Structure 1
Amino acid sequence: MKYLVTFFSLAVLFMAACQQQPSHPRNTAVPTKDSSATSDIKPAESGYADVNGLKMYYEVYGSGKPLVLLHGSFMNIPMNWAKAIPVLAKDRKVIVAEMQGHGRTRDIDRKMSYESMADDVSALLKHLKVDSADVLGYSMGGGIAFQFAVRHPEQLRRLVILSGTYAHNGWWPDVEASFAGMNAEMFKGSPIEKQYDSLGNDPARFPEYIKKVLSIDVQAYDWTKEVKNIKAPIFMAIGDADGVRYEHALELFRAKGGGKMGDIHGLPQSRLAILPGTTHIGMMVNTDLWIPMVKNFLDGDLNAPPPMF
């Protein structure tokens, strides 16, 4: 388990290096020109939205069809999306936000749950006057994205899930068991703790923050029925060395029309990818593998017949 935290921290360091930008001074409350996801591209808009009792920090890049990116546990915008935003924003309006208690979005006296954070995303889109959007969620963000699709289908066009689950047993058993044993001491001195402190949070509340974020996966959840009834096309991608069980992803793909020979029955509107040489954390490092697939899924004609040679 200590290895998992160490590996996670090393991945954060790698992604932070990709940003090539200075760290934030303590107690920074208002975004500065250095607070964007990457120094190579600046947000067209950034700020705080009043949603469901939160002051939710968000950034908007590029123009075109809206695409919402939802980060993983303990992450923030630059840590999770520094490599992806410059590519995706070339032909998309990319909306990124920091969830409850993460990054520059301060925590409030509210239970942390996938459902409430999905409602926050819905409220943010209304704040930005975006009627509907494609939504992409990674890890914890994948759970939020699933709940967004279930709770706010009218705001969703297409759904992308990277290394996310729709039931607690979607994780490999040892991964699921590890959540209950993780604690703030394991993150001591890690980039996770340092970024938490650097954004003006109270260091004394760091253990509470870790416990609260982990709480959403410690308790059992199962949205299988609701998720299988999502009407929007779904693209689910996991790594071949991910924490998500292959069978979990396959079960959803079959429910969405997969598991048949496309040359005979036609292609399903939903898609599945298992990326080679990719771990759970590596999903955010190997963006060159999944971004072309995501762009093809979002921009392509899903009703087109299979290619003929």
Structure 2
Amino acid sequence: MKRITLLWFTTTIFLGLLVSCVHTPVKQAQESSRKDSLSGKALPASATGYADVNGLKMYYEVYGKGKPLVLLHGSYMTIPLNWSNIIPYFTDRKVIVAEMQGHGRTRDISRKISYESMADDVSGLLKHLKIDSADILGYSMGGGIAYQLAIRHPDQVRRLIVLSGSYRHDGWWPDVEKMYSTINADMFKGSPIEKQYDSLGNDPKHFPEFVKKVIQIDLEPYDWSKEVKAIKAPLFQIIGDADGIRYEHALELYTALGGGKMGDIHGLPKSRLAIVPGTTHIGIMYRMDWLTPMINDFLDSDLNTAPPTF
């Protein structure tokens, strides 16, 4: 198949992640030891291992101490590719990162990949780590997993942050949704995603199967509108103004969870919404210097909804 152009890549969701790996320091993203982008110091994991959950041996890493924060990666990604440059921003928290079914060091099993099953796996990981409740941050595919975790295992979710994720298949712009059916393994030839798949011990012969199996989750219509609007955990949605997620999609949920009113009169809702300027679906992962203060404020706030007094 003719190789896809770079311009086309930048309009995609998952293949766009490949471009971000190419245009940012690939070596830094692939290092097994995390480096603090400010100090250059290595950030060693305090724990690594495999959790036996739902017939899966899920690979995970834990960093730091404090309130637990779980980071859920996007499609085709791994801990090094998705989170190496992000973990140092949360040094005052216990950061838990894991690789989903078939990704990285978590070997695939004879089970359909779905948002629901991956959410159950994350629930099992938290039980394995003896963590009753955690803050959850999911990016792209990880955002869908985060939504399902809050739906299926609400007691395990304290607060929820979704970066560029959807709760309904048409939450993506129509051209993005239409494009999913064209994604195949040939498009990843020689990419960091393919190379990491091979280097982490997976059989290269199964890479085409892996690509097809993962994209299948977005080829089948889904709609969790009713369920997410009943989520009790405070939710912070963050999208870019040039994202693959439609503004109306994010706004619909924000409004359902108490937004869409003047806070000076009615008080602030427990949930939040941010549309980041000059930012794409890929680029949102490189806005952490902007996003971290907002995320920490959300996680640490007492979420007093009363309007201010003068």
TM norm structure 2:
0.91
What residue in structure 2 maps to residue 239 of structure 1? 240
* Matches of 1:240 and 1:250, distance apart in 2: 13
The one-letter code matched in structure 2 to 1:98 is E
In structure 2, the partner of 1:191 is: 192
- Inter-CA distance 113–15: structure 2 relative to 1 (3 Å threshold): farther
Whole-Å separation in 2 of the counterparts to 1:98 and 1:199: 12
**Which residue of the partner structure matches residue 108 of structure 2?**
107
Tell me, in whole angstroms, the C-alpha distance in 2 between the residues paired with 1:266 and 1:277. Answer: 29
Whole-angstrom CA distance in 2 between matches of 1:20 and 1:175: 26
Change (3 A) 1:135 1:7: closer
SS in structure 1 at match of 2:113: coil
Q: For 1:13, which of 14, 22, 25 is the aligned residue? A: 22
Q: CA–CA distance in 2 between the matches of 1:221 and 1:304?
A: 32
Letter in 2 for 1:175: V
Asked if 1:51 corresponds to 2:53, the answer is yes
Instruction: Label 1:243 to 1:21 Cα distance change in 2 as closer, same or farther (>3 A).
Output: closer
Residue deviations 1:150-182 (CA, integer Å, cap 9, x gap): 000011100000000000000000000000111
Are the equivalent residues in 1 in contact too, given 2:68–2:94 (CA < 8 A)? yes
**1:240-255, aligned counterparts within 5 Å?**
240-255=241-256
Q: 1:21 to 1:197 in 2, by over 3 A?
A: closer
Amino acid at match of 1:109: S
- 2:76 is equivalent to residue 74 of structure 1: yes
The CA distance in 2 between the partners of 1:237 and 1:306, in whole Å, is 23
Q: CA deviation at 1:82?
A: 1.3
Distance of aligned partners of 1:148 and 1:15 in 2 relative to their CA distance in 1, 3 Å threshold? farther
Aligned-residue offset at 1:7: 4.1
Distance 2:282 2:103 in 1: 18
The 1-side partners of 2:179 and 2:29 are apart by: 33
Aligned to 2:38: none
> For the structure 1 residues 14 and 125, does the alpha-carbon distance in structure 2 shift closer, same or farther, using more than 3 Å as the test?
farther
TM-score w.r.t. the length of structure 1 is 0.92
Q: Which residue of 1 aligns with 2:63?
A: 61
- Maintained 8 Å contact 2:29/2:80: no
Cα gap change, 1:241 to 1:308, in 2 (>3 Å):
farther
Gaps of 5+ in 1: 23-34
Partner residue, 2:261: 260
Deviation at 1:289, TM superposition (A): 1.8
1:261-283 deviation per Cα after TM superposition (whole angstroms, max 9, x unaligned): 00011100000000011100111
Query: How many angstroms apart in 2 are the aligned matches of 1:194 and 1:260?
Result: 48
Deviations 1:91-123 (A, max 9, x none): 111111000011111111100000000000000
> How does 1:31-42 map onto structure 2 within 5 Å?
35-38=32-35, 40-42=42-44
Structure 1 residues 302 and 74: CA distance shift in structure 2, 3 A: same
Question: Structure 2 CA distance, aligned partners of 1:61 and 1:290?
Answer: 20
- 3-state SS, counterpart of residue 276 of structure 1: strand
Task: Write out per-residue CA displacement over residues 25-52 of structure 1, whole angstroms, 9 at most, x where no aligned residue.
Answer: xxxxxxxxxx344472001101111111
